[in-house]
Amino acid sequence: MAAPMQSFYIIRFSDCDPFGHLNNARYIDYMLNAREDHLRDGYKLTNSDFAKQGIGWVTTRNEIQYLRPAFYNERVCIQTALIGVGETELLVEMIMYDETRQQLKALLWGTFTHINIKTGRREMHTAEMMQFLNGAKFEQFDISLSFKDRLASVLDQLKENSNNTGIS
């Protein structure tokens, strides 16, 4: 069973609105960039490695909940994990926290569909790929939870953590 990976990013001026808040569309960019970094750093894999094999994944669905703004020049923590594996799809959870992981900024579930790059059509994962993906999957929580239930679970965990450390 794999563990979620995390890394830190600074919110850039060019990604913010006139009020200094990270633009909503840019949350997804930061999270996808973090996932790409995590694949490179954790598994030594890049999108170009897959492209050389004639395969890739395209985003087919994003479900995101924005909870708190990320501000210009703020350092944020982004955690990603593969949480679901299907014959042709992957479900990846991406969470943006403040630097100390005490405030949840946004939760994203991204669905990615496996495609053949030459045809642009959906393609089933090979048995070898399924074995790798299932080994990389994070299974610490019940994937049958809805997005809304998972959000509540993350918020409850943050609240419990702050109660245990005396942080309010």
**pLDDT, position 144:** 83
pTM value is: 0.92
**pLDDT, position 162:** 80
The residue written with tokens 């009020």 in the block is: 19
Structure tokens that stand for 149 in this block? 């239930």
115 pLDDT tier (thresholds 50, 70, 90) = very high
**pLDDT, position 161:** 83
pLDDT tens track for 24-35: 999 999 999 999
Q: Is the model's pLDDT at 166 over the cut of 70?
A: no
pLDDT tens track for 67-110: 999 999 999 999 999 999 999 999 999 999 999 999 999 999 99
Mean local confidence (pLDDT), 123-143: 91
**Does residue 155 sit in helix, strand or coil?**
helix
- Sequence-distant (≥ 6) Cβ neighbours of residue 143 within 8 angstroms: 83, 84, 91
Mean local confidence (pLDDT), 158-166: 79
Q: What is the DSSP string of 35-87?
A: HHHHHHHHH---HHHHHHTTEEEEEEEEEEEE-S--BTT-EEEEEEEEEEE-S
**pLDDT, position 1:** 58
**pLDDT, position 139:** 86
